Copies of this chain bind each other. A is one copy, B any other.
Amino acid sequence: MTPTPDSDLQLLTQAALFDGLTETQLRTIQQHAALVKVPRRSFFFHQGEAATTFYLIREGQVRLSQVNPEGKQVIIHLFGPGDVLAVIVVLSNAPYPLSAEAITDCVAWAWSRETAVHLMEQCPRLAINGMEMVARRFQELQNRYRELSTERVEQRVARALIRLIQQRNGSQEQKPYPLLSLTRQDLAEMTGTTLYTVSRICSSWEQQGLLEAGREQLHVHNLEELSNIADDLRPSAANFPPKPE
């Protein structure tokens, strides 16, 4: 960990977490921050470790995942710049309930548990902002939970892609959709299915011209049709009933 250089104040100001804070407050917060670098494939923290630190991502992509006792992995969320890591858990004095792995090289600000609690007590606005970010994540998780229990695999994969695109775009709609880089395995772990099924679905979509599929990448062409699939505006059937026609 290295102390944050002064120039970082700028960047900090932009983070949603610090919305509405005075410059003095920001400066205090910054003084207590450490800058950490986490290279691709290493971990911010592991499931089960004591939660000592919370992070605000400056650069890079992070995968939050949980493994069950049998070793099966489930991806809870992917994060990018501006997102916060372990806000909630740092306040509840419990071990990290999941692991955070850098899927690209990352840079992040870090605060210790005590510092964070202290800052929030002095500066309630910070706690409220944190809560808002948690609220959004909570709701997304609830939605995904509902989807997982009521929708079929194909819909869920479609939704996962749509979410990833929206996350990358940061709301502004743009036609040449961004290129998503993830493995079929990742997509499977995000949607609660298997690598094989995802592969079949992608192949089928590629044949229908909805996207181009490559090694560790997917390029969506037709987002509208994908939304239709997500909303089940077609009575199922990717290619499963291998119609005699």
Interface residues of A (CB under 8 A from B): 66, 68-70, 72, 74, 76, 88-89, 91-92, 94, 97-98, 117, 120-125, 127-128, 130-132, 134-139, 141-151, 191-193, 231-232
Contacts and interface: CB of A to CB of B under 8 A. Distances in A.
Instruction: Decide if the interface of chain A is mainly helix, strand, loop or mixed.
Output: helix
Nearest to A231: B69
B124 A120 contact: yes
A92 B192 contact: no
Nearest to A74: B146
Contacts of A136: 92
Given A127-B131, A138-B138, A192 B148 contact: yes
11 contacts: A68-B146, A70-B232, A74-B149, A76-B145, A76-B146, A92-B131, A92-B132, A92-B135, A94-B139, A141-B141, A150-B192
A127 B128 CA distance: 7
Q: Copy number in this complex?
A: 2
A116 to B, nearest CB: 10
Given A91-B135, A127-B131, A135-B91, A74 B121 contact: no
- Chain B CB within 10 A, most for which of A117, A142, A144: A142
Given A94-B135, A120-B124, A148 B145 contact: yes
A65 to B, nearest CB: 9
A119 to B, nearest CB: 10
A88 B136 CA distance: 9
Contact of A131 (B94, B97, B134, B150): B134
B139 A97 contact: yes
Contacts of A149: 74, 148, 191-193
Given A66-B142, A68-B147, A148-B148, 6 more contacts: A66-B146, A74-B149, A76-B145, A97-B143, A123-B124, A138-B141
